[in-house]
Amino acid sequence: MQAVYFIGIGGIGMSAIARYFLNKGMFVGGYDKTPSPLTETLEKEGAVIHYEDDIRLIPEKCLRKEECLVIYTPAIPPTHTELNYFRENGFDMQKRAQVLGTLTRSLKGLCVAGTHGKTTTSGMTAHILHRSHVDCNAFLGGISKNYGTNYILSADSRYVVIEADEFDRSFHWLTPWATVITSTDADHLDIYGTEEEYLRSFTRYTELILPGGFLILHTGLKMKPNTQKGVTTYSYGREAGDFHADNIRIGNGRITFDLVSPIENIADIELGVPVAINIDNGIAAMALAQIAGATAGEIREAMLSFGGMDRRFDFHVRWDNMVYISDYAHHPEEIRQSILSIKQLYEGRRIKAIFQPHLYTRTRDFYMEFADALSLLDDVTVLDIYPAREEPIAGVSSELIYDNLRCGIRKQLCHKEDIMKCVSAKDFDVLVTLGAGDIDNYAEAITELLNTGTDENSN
């Protein structure tokens, strides 16, 4: 194999694998719907990318089926011209998850699964191990702020950290050596149909753990593991988790706690990104790191130096009189936890959320839950639905969420093109933009606007 061609190369998971093959010295080509900072970076690193579904634009090196592997994302529609060209001409075609599965059979896979928290937990795990004597390879579902990339390469480490995505049952291709399951709140019901089937998929995932491997479950999950592997639990506080936090101290913009662990207790861990949800994420990451052999000192240092993941509770403005956070939260429970963390950090402050729903099906299935979570705040703006891979569904719009926000809340509907008007009044102390669509494209402009006239010496 001399070349690899990616259909959907700009996706966060796909781009990490593209980087892997570029680092291996292979020719990498690809298609994506639109240019993005990720595709621009890949092009600078040597990938040949185009943005029209046209087989005439496929690089010649990727047209020789004996020499080219084609990797595609399940988000690509079945009518895609290039996808069908490769299928009809007998190319070796693999889903992104199949490639990651191959890596978990050649290295020791440390995988992070769950409805929420996957990206931050896997990013934390990778950072701890990369800063330790253990080191690791990593394929992340977001850009690490410490490294400016979603991919970490190690020539010597036996470990690979992988975000185990349940969408389209992708994580069933993996063979973990150790895995965390963070949460199992129903999602992707367009794929699974029912919550029961969604939970059954996680049970199936636990059957794939290698002999001698480890399973670390968050306490209180609905799913039941089907494995005799080393099963342990973790939790935020003293909720019967084998790994848990104790002596939690929150104040003055800092969060410090002690890790209680069946392997080794670690005192005075401070979070580099001090939000309450990262206690949970951190316990899971430290559990994986301890299993892989990281020391207490290495873990303590890495937790403090962890800079977070792009779009995951991402601070853009952080002055005494104005704060702006963007967060990828796009499931009702993620939004609830994000809002609760913000309210805890900024008690008594005026907090405004701008939410862009992601997918028609998710809005249809969870509009009441979205409204309930957003109603924890007093000021909410709801944008139009970001469709991603979906076609509109009759009767499904952002108004379903808007209409069910609690009485008395200050609320408005807004087109994303008018988002700057929603922000310009600056009638809040803390702004959070929420969603997995393209709302983050406005983060830079919002930051500029909020910094105008802000006393930057008041931090």
pLDDT, tens digit, for every residue of 52-82? 999 999 999 999 999 999 999 887 888 999 9
pLDDT of 312 reads: 83
Please report which confidence band the pLDDT of residue 320 belongs to, taking 50, 70 and 90 as the band edges.
Answer: confident
pTM comes to 0.79
Give the SS3 label for residue 272. Answer: coil
Does residue 265 register a pLDDT over 90? yes
Closest CA to 376 of 406, 355, 346, 401: 406
Please report which confidence band the pLDDT of residue 453 belongs to, taking 50, 70 and 90 as the band edges.
Answer: low
Nearest 10 degrees: Cα torsion 221, 223, 227, 229: -10
Does residue 394 register a pLDDT over 80? yes
Per-residue pLDDT, averaged over 347-376, amounts to 95
pLDDT of 103 reads: 85
pLDDT of 390 reads: 87
Does residue 157 register a pLDDT over 90? yes
List helix spans (H) across 24-157.
37-44, 81-88, 96-106, 118-131
Rounded CA separation 226/206 (Å):
6
Rounded CA separation 69/408 (Å):
56
pLDDT in tens, 273-284: 988 889 999 999
Which tops the pLDDT comparison, 126 or 38? 126
Per-residue pLDDT, averaged over 25-50, amounts to 94
pLDDT in tens, 194-210: 999 999 999 999 999 99
Per-residue pLDDT, averaged over 289-298, amounts to 98
> Which of 49-63, 250-264, 292-306 is predicted with the least confidence, judged by mean pLDDT?
250-264
Contact predicate 439/335, CB 8 Å: no
pLDDT of 313 reads: 85
Which tops the pLDDT comparison, 75 or 118? 118
> What residues contact residue 355 under an 8 Å CB cut-off, 6+ apart?
335, 370, 374, 380, 381, 382, 383, 401, 433, 434, 435
pLDDT of 418 reads: 93
Give the SS3 label for residue 249. Answer: strand
pLDDT in tens, 159-169: 999 999 898 89
Please report which confidence band the pLDDT of residue 389 belongs to, taking 50, 70 and 90 as the band edges.
Answer: confident
pLDDT of 456 reads: 46
Per-residue pLDDT, averaged over 151-156, amounts to 88
Please report which confidence band the pLDDT of residue 139 belongs to, taking 50, 70 and 90 as the band edges.
Answer: very high
DSSP conformational letter for 61: G
Does residue 459 register a pLDDT over 70? no
pLDDT of 457 reads: 40
pLDDT of 263 reads: 97
Per-residue pLDDT, averaged over 358-376, amounts to 96
Please report which confidence band the pLDDT of residue 454 belongs to, taking 50, 70 and 90 as the band edges.
Answer: low
Per-residue pLDDT, averaged over 317-336, amounts to 91
**Domains in the chain, start-ordered, CATH in brackets?**
3-95 (3.40.50.720), 107-305 (3.40.1190.10), 314-451 (3.90.190.20)
**What rounded mean pLDDT belongs to the chain?**
92
pLDDT in tens, 424-445: 988 999 999 999 899 988 999 9
Beta strands in 114-158 (DSSP E): 137-144, 149-152
Per-residue pLDDT, averaged over 325-334, amounts to 91
- Residue the block writes with tokens 């983060």: 443
Angstrom distances, CA of residue 344 to CA of 350, 423, 433: 12, 23, 17
